[in-house]
Amino acid sequence: MASDQTGRTTVGQGDITQQTTDAIVNAANESLLGGGGVDGAIHRAAGPLLLEECRTIGGCPTGQARITKGYNLSASYVIHTVGPIWRGGNRNEEALLASCYQNCLTLAEENGIQSIAFPAISTGVYGFPIEQATDIAVQEVTEFLKKAVTVHQAMFVCFSREDQFIYEKTINSYGKSR
C-alpha cells in the first residue's frame, strides 16, 4: 500500500464496494439513478434502498456531491459525485473534476466522516485521461487533508493495477515537489 508522507492518503487496488471506510465515493451521473461501472457496482452491493433514497434527492449537477446512507455496504455512507465527461479539455473539465473531490470532502467533514475511499472519478465511461485525473485527485485530496478536522484518512481505490501504478507514481512525486 503506497501512501503520502503524512500516511493520510493511501492507494490500493480493489473493489470500492468492499472498503470498510466510513464513506465510499460513487462516480455517478446527474440523474443519481444508477448506471454501469462503479455506480452499478455500488448500487448492486448497497441494495435497492440506495436507489430509493437517491430518488428523493432529485439529481446532482456535475462537479457537485450528495450523501446517502450505505445500506448493505460496509461503509456507513455513500457520497455520490458527478464527474465531468471529457470533451477534449476545453470545457472546464479539470476544474469540475477538482470540485468533485472538494465537494465530497466538504460533505464528509460536515457529516463527521473520518475515512473515505475514492474511485478514479471520470476516468472510465466519462473518458478523462487517467494521468491528468490522477494529478487532480492527488492534489485536491492531499491539500484538503492538510486542513481537515474530521477526515483524516483518504484512500484511492484503483480497479486496475495500471491505475494503481499511476496513482502511486503521482503520490510519490507530489510529496517530493512540495
Where on the chain is the footprint of ligand APR (CB under 6 A)? 15-17, 27-29, 35-41, 83, 119-126, 157, 159, 163
Rounded to a whole number of angstroms, the minimum distance from the CB of residue 40 to ligand APR is: 6
DSSP-derived pairing of the beta strands 9-13 and 2-3: antiparallel
- Distance set, CA 134 to CA 39, 69, 80, 82, 143 (Å): 19, 27, 18, 16, 14
Rounded to a whole number of angstroms, the minimum distance from the CB of residue 10 to ligand APR is: 14
Rounded to a whole number of angstroms, the minimum distance from the CB of residue 37 to ligand APR is: 2
Active-site residue flag, 135: no
d(CA 97, CA 133): 8
Nearer to ligand APR, 39 or 140 (CB): 39
- Choosing from 4, 22, 39, 163, the catalytic residue is 39
Nearer to ligand APR, 6 or 160 (CB): 160
Nearer to ligand APR, 136 or 157 (CB): 157
d(CA 160, CA 162): 5
d(CA 39, CA 37): 5
Which of 163, 175, 165 lies closest to 128, judged by CA?
A: 163
Catalytic positions: 39
